């Protein structure tokens, strides 16, 4: 049985522009490793910012760059102490 999230249809993507890792990093003007680090560090949330296409360990991700840009707008520049 497929899971549904917040009343959505199974296998439906939230609205926005979805791209693979390479294309998303290029459009966000960041390195692809930075994108993955944001995900691993918990700044990006599954289902709204990214999804994994398959169930395997090496399955690719799709990235919602519209939602990621909104999240990145709240990032602050580093300050000197």
Tens digit of each residue's pLDDT (9 = 90 or more) over 6-59: 555 666 677 889 999 999 999 999 999 999 999 999 999 999 999 999 888 899
Q: How many domains does the chain have?
A: 1
Q: Is residue 80 very low, low, confident or very high in pLDDT (cuts 50, 70, 90)?
A: confident
Confirm whether 64 is domain-assigned: yes
Evaluate the CA torsion angle 51, 57, 60, 63 in order and state its sign: positive
Confirm whether 63 is domain-assigned: yes
pTM confidence score: 0.77
Confirm whether 53 is domain-assigned: yes
Mean pLDDT of 63-73: 95
For 28, 56, 57, 80, the CA distances from 52, given in Å and listed in that order, are 19, 9, 10, 37
Confirm whether 12 is domain-assigned: no
Domain assignment of residue 26, given as a range: 18-72
Confirm whether 9 is domain-assigned: no
Average pLDDT of every residue of the chain:
87
């Amino acid at each position: 049985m497929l899971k549904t999230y917040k009343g959505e249809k199974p296998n439906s993507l939230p609205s926005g522009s979805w791209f693979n890792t390479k294309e998303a990093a290029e459009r966000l003007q960041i390195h692809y490793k930075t994108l993955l680090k944001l995900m691993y560090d918990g700044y990006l949330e599954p289902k709204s910012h990214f999804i994994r296409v398959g169930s395997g360990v090496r399955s690719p991700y799709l990235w919602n760059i519209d939602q990621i840009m909104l999240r990145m707008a709240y990032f602050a520049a580093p300050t000197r102490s």
